[in-house]
């Protein structure tokens, strides 16, 4: 088992990563809780809920709440239902919520924990690769019909327990989604790591490499959020690829493509902007090939309209006075934030769409 | 103009108290905001919204959102509507929310501010005496059908601007409600002040005394919350009278009696418990007379059932392992927290109900 300690303004917390951790929860979870509510989704439930319940202390009452799988559950309706569940099972201030699932569950259950009785403890138990990103850093949220994560808080878990075995049941699309954020973390931090990833195929991934990539990703994320918890400065770098990704997800409807796939496509646009507008020499051709080799849905670009994307980016919370800030790269591992004019964005987006369409 | 500085874990903020402050907002509010949303209720709107809008800088776009007056607006439905308003007028991370109104508006608008884009700045502009309590300390919340303030956050305003002139339009019931919390602050902190209040009649209150009472109340509140922001210890003292008050409000339906009136009745029960069970000698007779003289609705006690009150107190967030903690007084200005058995609570509540019924 490996571990990383994350420092936050309210408290420090540990991220534990290892095989089969879900079978030994009693070792990692304080016995002082009056009750525990495990929040999970309809897919994860069938795989791991029983294991988790069995490995918690018999001395503590354990309740469960299950929401439908998929990003569309990160909604006001599910948020309200879960708060009702907290009230119904009488969670008190010394109760614990466990978020068992991917990023959707972590964000949703974390937001419930942050606002029930003005905040009770919660533990993240990520079951996807993608969630290596969202489970660290304290951002919890639900979506609004007009934008992703528009409603939420900054609220840190008391622990993150990452059972690497739960990655073994992931479908190909989820591995692809997770590596959208993994490669972002590599682009942000480590040129060698990035090139190594670009040379590999996800279908040939070993468990050992997966574990190492997740650990490295968490370290990148943790080191940035520790320095800038509330996104006043460098935390913005973590939005690399996300400005377009959020707009695509909102436009297509959440759940149409996965978040990490959208990020992977957003990173392509980031490379385009960095190279064309700012003279960088990022390996866009190698990245395009990697996206193709691993079946990333780059073709979604042919289904979007640049003007509508622009309107959605305006609403994005990183927007200030209707100008659009982008995170770009001078080179791999060297990010910066820059304001880009609407006309240039429209032009580069059209060019990229044409390239992808094969024109 | 008087001012008090409140220290919080995230930032310090000023409470400004004075006459006519609403006409000079441009002096007190940073000019750096991209836009401002004033959230108020249907009653306050008619009195003060125009003044507030006129005194804000013309350089900043100002939007307004109005909810129906009354505690029933502290609901999930209004919360959602207000978040929609924030999205519709495109508030961004550099926007400001102004909560113009009583405690309901402060709690509701503060909760919106705390969760829109994971938290944007807000300013409290209390227009009631009662709100001298809720506007300081960072507790923001909405109600759940099963309990008051069950959903919320700890989130501090960037400023509190208390225009004492806005108290002049308050109906008698609102003055009574406000003094429920004022006398609580006196009971908690200052025997002389408490006795002085008990000797006075609210109908004969001077503006000067009102200003002084509000200032003293805010100082008591601020000094306690600074030492214990998240209610781990002494902040619990502020719940003096509130355990029964919340149960009464929930039982009768929010809005049936005002919060401060419920607190005033809860304080009577607190005195009864302190004297009968713990041998204190609090001036319960003088307090009863003060309640009668000032038309507090003590008779609500004849409309409640002790067993149902007990069930509701169990749900109260101060409850742990189904035991009920009460804040009592050894003597005036000397509070403590103690666990009280269900049987004793039922007995003392029945006794008090009988006394009030005149049996």
DSSP state of A58: T
Choosing from B122, B146, B169, the residue where a domain stops is B169
> In terms of domains, do B195 and B151 share one?
no
A146 and A198 co-located in one domain: no
Among B93, B116, B150, whose Cβ lies nearest the Cβ of A117? B150
Chain B hits for A119, CB-CB cut-off 8 Å, are 153-154, 230
The two beta strands, A12-18 and A2-7, are: antiparallel
Interface with B, mutate which of A77, A96, A115 (most B CBs under 10 A): A115
* DSSP H/E element including A104: helix A103-115
Question: Residues with Cβ < 8 Å from A120, sequence gap 6 or more?
Answer: A91, A93, A94, A95, A96, A97, A113
Q: Is A83 on the interface with B (CB under 8 A)?
A: yes
pLDDT score, position B136: 92
- Residue B126 bridge partners (DSSP): B101
Mind telling me the catalytic residues of B? 118, 139, 181, 221, 231, 235, 239, 242, 246, 259
Q: Is A172 a catalytic residue?
A: no
Residues at the binding site of B for NAD(+) are 127-128, 139, 148, 166-169
For A:216-235, CB contacts with B below 8 A are 230
Same domain assignment for residues A88 and A16: yes
Of B9, B153, B321, the CB nearest to A114: B153
> Helices B191-199 and B284-293 sit at what angle, rounded to 10 degrees?
40
Query: What are the C-alpha distances in Å from A18 to residues A27, A39, B118?
Result: 13, 21, 31
pLDDT of residue A271: 98
A46, A35 Cβ separation under 8 angstroms: no
Which pLDDT score is estimated for B206?
86
Question: What is the structure's pLDDT at A88?
Answer: 95
A246 is catalytic: yes
User: Catalytic residue at A221?
Assistant: yes
Which residue on chain B is closest to A315 by alpha carbon?
Answer: B90
> Do B177 and B165 belong together in one domain?
no
**Closest Cα in chain B to A232:** B93
> Which of B83, B88, B108, B117 best tests the A interface by mutation, with the highest count of A CBs <10 A?
B117
Q: Which residues in chain A have Cβ-Cβ distances shorter than 8 Å to B321?
A: 34, 92
Write out residues 116-175 of A within 8 Å (CB-CB) of B. 116-119, 139, 141, 144, 146-147, 149-154
Handedness of CA A281, A296, A206, A44 (dihedral sign): positive
User: Do A143 and A227 fall within a single domain?
Assistant: no
Cross-strand partners of B139 = B154
Interface check for A199 against chain B (CB to CB < 8 A): the answer is no
Q: Is beta strand A121-126 parallel, antiparallel or unpaired with respect to A159-163?
A: parallel
Taking CB atoms and an 8 Å cutoff, what residues of chain B touch A320?
34, 92-94
Active site residue A231: yes
Contact B319 A154 (CB under 8 A): no
Picking from A120, A150, A152, the residue whose alpha carbon sits closest to that of residue A138 is: A152
Give the list of residues 6+ apart from residue A211 with CB closer than 8 angstroms, or none.
Answer: A2, A17, A164
Q: What is the mean pLDDT of chain B?
A: 93
- The DSSP secondary-structure symbol of A45 reads I
**A242 marked among binding-site residues:** yes
What is the 3-state composition of chain A as percent helix, strand, coil, each rounded to the nearest 5?
55, 20, 25
**Residue A159 bridge partners (DSSP):** A14, A123
B93 at interface of A, judged by CB pairs closer than 8 A: yes
Confidence at residue B349, expressed as pLDDT on a 0 to 100 scale: 95
Three-class DSSP category at A154? strand
Q: Decide if A87 and B114 are in contact by the 8 Å CB cutoff.
A: no
pLDDT 10s digits, B144-192: 988 889 999 999 999 999 999 998 888 899 999 999 999 999 999 999 9
Angle, in degrees to the nearest 10, between helices B259-278 and B172-189: 30
To the nearest whole Å, the CA of B302 is away from the closest chain A CA by: 28
User: In the numeric block, which tokens belong to residue A169?
Assistant: 């049941």
Q: What is the pLDDT of residue A359?
A: 57
Q: Which of chain B's residues have a Cβ under 8 Å away from the Cβ of A152?
A: 115, 117-118
Q: Are A28 and A85 in contact (CB under 8 A)?
A: no
| CATH label of the domain that carries residue B239 | 1.20.1090.10
Report in angstroms the alpha-carbon separations of A159 from A115, A226, B57, B148. 18, 15, 46, 29
Structural element, H or E, at residue A328: strand A324-331
Residue B129 near residue B158 (C-beta atoms within 8 A): no
B-contacting residues of A 40-79, CB under 8 Å? 76
Q: What pLDDT digit, counting tens, does each position of B265-312 carry?
A: 999 999 999 999 999 999 999 999 999 999 999 999 999 999 999 988
- Nearest CB partner across the interface for A118, out of B93, B139, B314: B139
Q: Is A139 annotated as a binding residue?
A: yes
Bridging pattern class, strands B62-67 and B36-41: parallel
* Beta carbons of A317 and B34 less than 8 Å apart: no
Taking the Cβ of residue A337 and every Cβ of chain B, the question of whether any pair is shorter than 8 Å is answered with no
pLDDT tens profile A49-90: 999 999 998 899 999 999 999 889 999 999 999 999 999 999
Please list, in sequence order, all residues whose beta carbon lies within 8 angstroms of the beta carbon of residue A91, skipping any fewer than 6 positions away: A35, A37, A97, A116, A117, A120
Burial A261-297 (b: 16+ CB within 10 A, else e): bbbbbbbbbbbbbbbebeebebbbeebbebbeebebb
CATH number of the structural domain spanning residue B59: 3.40.50.1970
Nearest chain A residue to B34 by CA: give it: A321
Helix axes B207-227, B172-189, angle to 10 degrees: 50
User: Among residues B169, B202, B225, which one ends one of the domains?
Assistant: B169
CB neighbour class for A314 (10 Å; exposed up to 12, middle 13-18, buried from 19): middle
Q: Does A90 lie at the interface with B, CB-CB under 8 angstroms?
A: yes
Q: Which of A71, A174, A181, A249 is catalytic?
A: A181
**Tens digit of pLDDT per residue, chain A (359 long)?**
889 999 998 899 999 999 999 999 999 999 999 999 999 999 999 999 999 999 998 899 999 999 999 889 999 999 999 999 999 999 999 999 999 999 999 999 999 999 999 999 999 999 999 999 999 999 999 999 888 899 999 999 999 999 999 998 888 999 999 999 999 999 999 999 999 999 999 999 988 899 899 999 999 999 999 988 887 788 999 999 999 998 998 888 767 888 899 999 999 999 999 999 999 999 999 999 999 999 999 999 999 999 999 988 877 544 555 568 899 999 999 999 999 988 999 999 999 999 998 75
Instruction: Copy the structure tokens of residue A103.
Output: 């990023």
pLDDT single digits (tens) A150-181: 999 999 999 999 999 999 888 899 999 999 99
Tell me how long chain B is.
359
CA angle centred on B256, ends B251 and B258, rounded to 5°: 105
Residue A235 appears among annotated catalytic residues: yes
Which tokens go with B214?
Answer: 């509000």
pLDDT along chain B (359 residues), means of 10: 89 94 95 96 97 94 96 95 96 96 96 97 96 93 90 97 90 93 97 97 90 93 89 89 91 83 97 97 97 96 92 67 84 95 93 87
B211 and B268 in one domain? yes
Q: Which residues does residue A301 pair with via DSSP β-bridges, in sequence order?
A: none
Structure tokens at A283: 């390996």
Specify whether A96 is located in the same domain as A208. no
Match 């269900």 to its residue by tokens.
B342
Structure tokens at A270: 């980031």
Structure-token pair, residue B217 = 């109340």
Which domain range does residue B177 map to? Answer: 173-357
Partners of residue B3 on adjacent β-strands? B16
Regarding whether A144 and A59 lie in a shared domain, the answer is yes
Q: How many domains does chain B have?
A: 2
Q: Chain B: nearest CA to A107, how far in angstroms?
A: 12
Cα-Cα-Cα-Cα dihedral sign, residues B252, B254, B260, B266: positive
Domain boundary at A167, A193, A224, which?
A: A167
Same domain? For B136 and B205 the reply is: no
CB contact under 8 A, A317 and B94: no
B39 & B147 share domain: yes
Residue partners of A317: CB distance under 8 A and separation at least 6 = A147, A149, A150, B92, B93, B117, B118
Interface test with B, best of A9, A61, A116, A118 (most B CBs within 10 A): A118
Identify the three-state secondary structure at position A304.
Answer: coil
Residues A78 and A201 in one domain: no
Residue A174 is a catalytic residue: no
Planar angle of CA B214, B218, B223, nearest 5 degrees = 155
Q: Is A323 on the interface with B (CB under 8 A)?
A: no
Interchain contact, A92 vs B319, CB within 8 Å = yes
**Paired tokens of A109:** 């259950």
- A166 assigned ligand-binding residue: yes
CA dihedral B133, B139, B143, B148 (to 10 degrees): -60
Looking at the fold, whether A269 and A237 belong to one and the same domain comes out as: yes
Token pair belonging to A74: 């990160």
A318 and A232 Cβ atoms separated by less than 8 Å? no
**Which residues in chain A have Cβ-Cβ distances shorter than 8 Å to B83?**
144, 150-151
Q: What is the 3-state secondary structure (H, E, C) of chain B?
A: CEEEEEECCCCEEEEEEECCHHHHHHHHCCCCCCCEEEEEEHHHHHHHHHHHHHHCCCCCCEEEEEECCCHHHCCHHHHHHHHHHHHHCCCCCCCEEEEEECHHHHHHHHHHHHHECCCCEEEEEECCCCHHHHCCCCEEEEEECCEEEEEEEECCCCEEEEEHHHHHHCCHHHHHHHHHHHHHHHHHHCHHHHHHHHHCCHHHCCHHHHHHHHHHHHHHHHHHHHHCCCCCCHHHHHHCCHHHHHHHHHHHCCCCCCHHHHHHHHHHHHHHHHHHHHCCCCCHHHHHHHHHHCCCCHHHHHHCCHHHHHHHHHHCCCCECCEEEEEEEEECCEEEEEEECHHHHHHHHHHHHHHHHCC
What pLDDT score was predicted for residue A215?
Answer: 92
Contacts A–B by Cβ distance under 8 A: 87
| A57, A32 contact by CB (below 8 A) | no
């Amino acid at each position: 088992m490996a571990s990383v300690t994350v420092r936050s303004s309210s408290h420090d917390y540990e991220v534990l990563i290892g095989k089969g951790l879900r079978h030994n929860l009693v070792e990692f979870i304080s016995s002082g809780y009056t009750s525990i509510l495990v929040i999970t989704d309809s897919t994860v439930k069938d795989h791991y809920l029983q294991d988790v319940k069995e490995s918690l202390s018999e001395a503590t009452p354990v309740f469960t709440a299950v929401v439908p799988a998929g990003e569309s559950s990160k909604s006001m309706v599910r948020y309200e239902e879960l708060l009702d569940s907290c009230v119904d099972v009488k969670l008190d201030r010394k109760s614990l919520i466990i978020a068992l699932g991917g990023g959707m569950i972590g964000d949703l259950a974390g937001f419930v924990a942050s606002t029930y009785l003005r905040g009770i403890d919660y533990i993240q138990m990520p079951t996807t690769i993608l969630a290596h990103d969202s489970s660290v850093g304290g951002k919890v949220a639900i979506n609004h019909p007009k934008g992703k994560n528009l409603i939420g808080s900054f609220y840190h878990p008391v622990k993150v327990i990452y059972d690497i075995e739960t990655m073994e049941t992931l479908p190909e699309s989820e591995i692809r989604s997770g590596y959208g954020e993994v490669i972002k973390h590599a682009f942000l931090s480590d040129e060698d790591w990035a090139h190594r990833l670009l040379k590999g195929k996800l279908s040939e991934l070993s468990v050992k490499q997966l574990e190492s990539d997740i650990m490295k990703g968490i370290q990148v994320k943790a080191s940035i959020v520790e320095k800038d918890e509330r996104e006043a400065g460098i935390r913005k770098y973590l939005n690399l690829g996300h400005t377009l990704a959020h707009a695509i997800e909102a436009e297509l409807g959440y759940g149409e493509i996965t978040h990490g796939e959208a990020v992977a496509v957003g990173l392509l646009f980031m490379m385009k902007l960095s190279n064309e507008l700012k003279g960088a020499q990022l390996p866009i051709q190698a990245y395009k090939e990697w996206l193709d080799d691993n079946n990333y849905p780059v073709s979604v670009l042919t289904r979007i309209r640049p003007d509508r994307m622009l309107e959605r980016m305006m609403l994005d919370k990183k927007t200030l006075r209707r100008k659009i800030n982008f995170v770009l790269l001078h080179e791999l591992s060297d990010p910066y934030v820059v304001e880009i004019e609407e006309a240039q964005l429209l032009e580069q987006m059209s060019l990229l769409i044409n390239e992808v369409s094969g024109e």
